[in-house]
Amino acid sequence: MNLPPRVTDRAFARLAEIADLTGQQKSLRVAVEGGGCSGFQYDIKLDDPAADDLVLEKDGQRVLVDQVSLPFLSNAVIDFTEELIGARFVIENPNAASSCGCGTSFSI
């Protein structure tokens, strides 16, 4: 069954921190594009919502997914992690058959 992606509380909390730091209320856009070392890659950036975006919202923070990317992110989890290599938004995607070491590229 295709379910929309889920956003963790940590990811929403980090978005709130970014809004506080920048003084701007931007949404987090998560998109899938062709390319990368495994065939597809994630494009994660701050953006404004478009008319046909799926909007995932909590406590005034929003994560956006466009209609083209949505099937690739079915049942995925959008999270925020702080590791030795740095702090970043990450995607745990059950649709990805394989992914590369950097975690931003995957294949289906």
80 assigned to some structural domain: yes
- Domain residues for 26? 6-107
Three-state helix/strand/coil letters over the chain: CCCCCEECHHHHHHHHHHHHHHCCCCEEEEEEEECCCCCEEEEEEEECCCCCCEEEEECCEEEEECCCCHHHHCCCEEEEEEECCEEEEEEECCCCCEECCCCCEEEC
pTM for this entry: 0.86
Q: At 40, which CATH number? A: 2.60.300.12
101 assigned to some structural domain: yes
- What is the count of structural domains for the chain? 1
27 assigned to some structural domain: yes
100 assigned to some structural domain: yes
The pLDDT tens digits of the residues spanning 70-108 come to 999 999 999 999 988 788 999 998 887 766 555 555 566
1 assigned to some structural domain: no
The pLDDT tens digits of the residues spanning 15-70 come to 999 999 999 889 999 999 887 676 788 999 999 999 999 999 999 999 999 999 99
